[in-house]
Amino acid sequence: MKDILRQFINDNFLFGLQGRTFSDDDSLLEKRIIDSTGVLELIAFLDATFSVKVQDDELLPENLDSINRLVHYIEKKSKAAA
Amino acid sequence: MQLEEFLEASARVAGGKIALISGERRLTYAEIDRRCNRLAHSLAAAGLGRGDRVMIYLENSVEAVLAVFATLKAGAVFVMINPTTKAERFTYILNHCRAAAVVTDAAKFESVRQCLDGSSVKAVFLADAGGGRPNGHRVLSFEDVLADETLSSEPPPKRSIDIDLATLVYTSGSTGRPKGVMITHLNAIAAAHSIIGYLENTSHDVVLNVLPLSFGYGLYQVFMMFRVGGTVVLERSFTYPAAILDRIVRERATGFPMIPTISALLLQMDLTKWDFSHLRYITNAGAAMPLEHIAKLRKLMPHVKIYSMYGQTECTRVTYLPPDQIDARPGSVGRGMPNQEHYIVDDSGNRVGPGVVGELVVRGAHVMKGYWEMPQATDKALRPGPLPGERVLHTGDLFKSDEEGYLYFVARKDDIIKTRGEKVSPREVEDVLYALPGVAQAAVIGVPDKILGSAVKAVIVPRGGAQLTEREVLRHCAAHLDDYMVPKFVEFRDEMPTTASGKVAKLALSEQARECV
């Protein structure tokens, strides 16, 4: 799952830029990797790939702002849906 | 009066009041004032003189605000740089304004370090570097300076007067190179007072600001709140909307400045989950808010006053639509703000009446002094006014007015694109595209976009045999342009439509793009 998320972020927000590396814990906002329209793309991607529907009040950095947070959030949502 | 006195006066009368909230930090007026004094002494000790330029290259943060007021207290001129600016634009601005100091953070310092070699910069201040580190030649940390008991925390002697420059605001121009708008203390104070007047701001206001301080609209939120002794809650962006809305509720914000991109994102959400009962007003500037957004916001928050506004960097603000007029004239950006005169002129400079489209001309104490070291561009924007020797601002924006004098925006005279409320010069983006091997021809246009207002689109004719991909183009742009300037769309063509005179027919490109939407 981490690889899929990383690939999506690399392809869509960094366009494969050299030198823009980030760890699984790095804040996507602080690293200036994601912005408002990027979050919309991320939400659509989570729905299409993991069938995770992000609710309005879940649009929080706690859920979405790093690879590890995303993994945790997706797992939590998937469990709740199961 | 000078701009830093906004802070100093509030520190005197309400020193214990919370002035600024950023993340978990809450600072009082007195705390900010003392810190700015010490930083100002340190700037002076580093050799900064009256009128010297200080570049501030930081995210929205406590340190960015401290840097602004410390610079002013030192009698110097601050230059805010968008935190997503890349090395090329940074270097251009650094050399253009011959900055004497840079305030930034450790990560950004690494990215621009090489630009400083051989430059005019005498000192670099790192806002987040921690104390006691060997920072190298000319590099100081905020923490060390603020802990330095040998530096006074009393205000340094005043060195500038109110007609001196307070800031240079770099803005995109149609010629491609950013222009440094010269704003004096008096200009900024006049604008702030007029805006405070019509928004009826008081010390009870709490403004939540997500707009970058490099954007005049964002920066003035701080000035206005400091002037009235209110509180500013600074956020870095609107990226995670629920976090911002939670914050608005938690801090009981009374004012929320928006751009249409924010309202577009907000209106996709179910806003009934949040309690906005304390919110007094919403402002919109940067670009016109779609009528549909205004109507929906009014329905969702009937008690909130919505102010449609229009301005430009060259004079900060021009008009506002009084909230009680929004039903009668929803498409209008309103009337002139207090202490300002404006009129519409035709191509020969003659004033025109209601209903006739012409260029908007603005007269007032808020009008800039000109563009830094760009006399030709200055003479084009500032032209003789009614009084002998006076110069008034020709905005380059086409407007018409109704019978009561309310203004309606028609178009810009140049091809500047407004995206997310910020100006993008097609020429600046095209220059970057031409630097990419494999690009034979490039044209950049704005296309309508529900979220961004206009989205930047690059149309490219590859060189014969070159295999360019969209990803390569975007990667190249992301490495060289501020984030908001990076194209959203890339289209490859075999040839570019041209006009009879052989220029790229941008109008035709725009019309084709519109048909595709």
Give the model confidence (pLDDT) of B390-447 as tens digits: 999 999 999 999 999 999 998 888 888 988 888 899 988 999 999 999 999 999 999 9
User: The whole model's pTM is what?
Assistant: 0.91
Report chain B residues touching chain A, CB-CB < 8 A: 59, 83-84, 236-243, 246, 261-262, 265, 269-270, 273, 451-452, 471, 474-475, 478-479, 483
Of B163-177, B222-236, B292-306, the range with the highest mean pLDDT is B222-236
The sign of the torsion formed by the CA atoms of A8, A14, A19, A25 equals negative
pLDDT for B496 equals 87
pLDDT for B132 equals 61
Give the separation between CA B444 and CA B435, rounded to whole angstroms: 14
* pLDDT above 50 for B15: yes
Residue B44: beta bridge partners? none
Give the separation between CA B478 and CA B311, rounded to whole angstroms: 28
Residue B398: beta bridge partners? B359, B411
* pLDDT above 50 for B131: yes
Q: Closest chain B residue to A61 measured between Cα atoms?
A: B240
**CATH level 3 topology of B417-516:** GMP Synthetase; Chain A, domain 3 (3.30.300)
Average pLDDT, rounded, for chain B: 92
- Residues of B with Cβ-Cβ distance to A12 under 8 angstroms: none
Closest to A56 (Cβ–Cβ): which among B270, B451, B475? B270
Calculate mean pLDDT across residues B113-139: 80
Across the interface, do A59 and B240 touch by the CB < 8 Å criterion? yes
Q: Closest chain B residue to A11 measured between Cα atoms?
A: B471
Q: Could you tell me how far CA A44 lies from the centroid of its own chain?
A: 10
Q: How far is B209 from chain A (nearest CA, A)?
A: 15
- Residues of B with Cβ-Cβ distance to A36 under 8 angstroms: 237-239, 241, 261-262, 265, 451
Provide, rounded to the nearest whole percent, the portion of chain B with pLDDT above 90: 78
Length of chain B counted residue by residue: 517
Across the interface, do A59 and B241 touch by the CB < 8 Å criterion? yes
Supply B53's token pair: 């330029």
Which residue shows structure tokens 């840097």?
A: B67
Q: How far is A1 from chain B (nearest CA, A)?
A: 22
Let me know if domain A2-13+23-81 sits in CATH 1.10.1200.10: yes
For residues B132 and B418, the model is more confident at: B418
Look at domain B5-187 and name its CATH class.
Answer: alpha beta
pLDDT for B134 equals 47
Q: Choosing among A20, A35, A41, which should be mutated to test the B contact, i.e. which has the most B CBs within 10 A?
A: A35
Write the ipTM: 0.86
pLDDT for B464 equals 83
Closest to A57 (Cβ–Cβ): which among B242, B452, B478? B242
Across the interface, do A34 and B84 touch by the CB < 8 Å criterion? no
Give the residue range(s) of CATH 3.30.300.30 domains in chain B.
417-516
pLDDT for B509 equals 85
pLDDT for B501 equals 72
* pLDDT above 90 for A12: no
Domain boundaries, chain A: 2-13+23-81
* pLDDT above 80 for B176: no
Residue B457: beta bridge partners? B445, B489
Calculate mean pLDDT across residues B205-209: 98
- Name the residue type at position B41: H
- Long-range contacts made by residues A24-28, C-beta under 8 angstroms, separation at least 24? A24/A66, A24/A67, A24/A68, A25/A66, A25/A67, A25/A68, A26/A66, A26/A67, A27/A61, A27/A65, A27/A66, A28/A64, A28/A65, A28/A66
pLDDT for B135 equals 54
pLDDT for B413 equals 82
Give the separation between CA B510 and CA B119, rounded to whole angstroms: 41
pLDDT for B133 equals 56
* pLDDT above 80 for B514: no
Which architecture does CATH list for B238-412? 3-Layer(aba) Sandwich (3.40)
Across the interface, do A29 and B261 touch by the CB < 8 Å criterion? no
The torsion angles phi and psi of B113, rounded to 5 degrees, stand at -50, -45
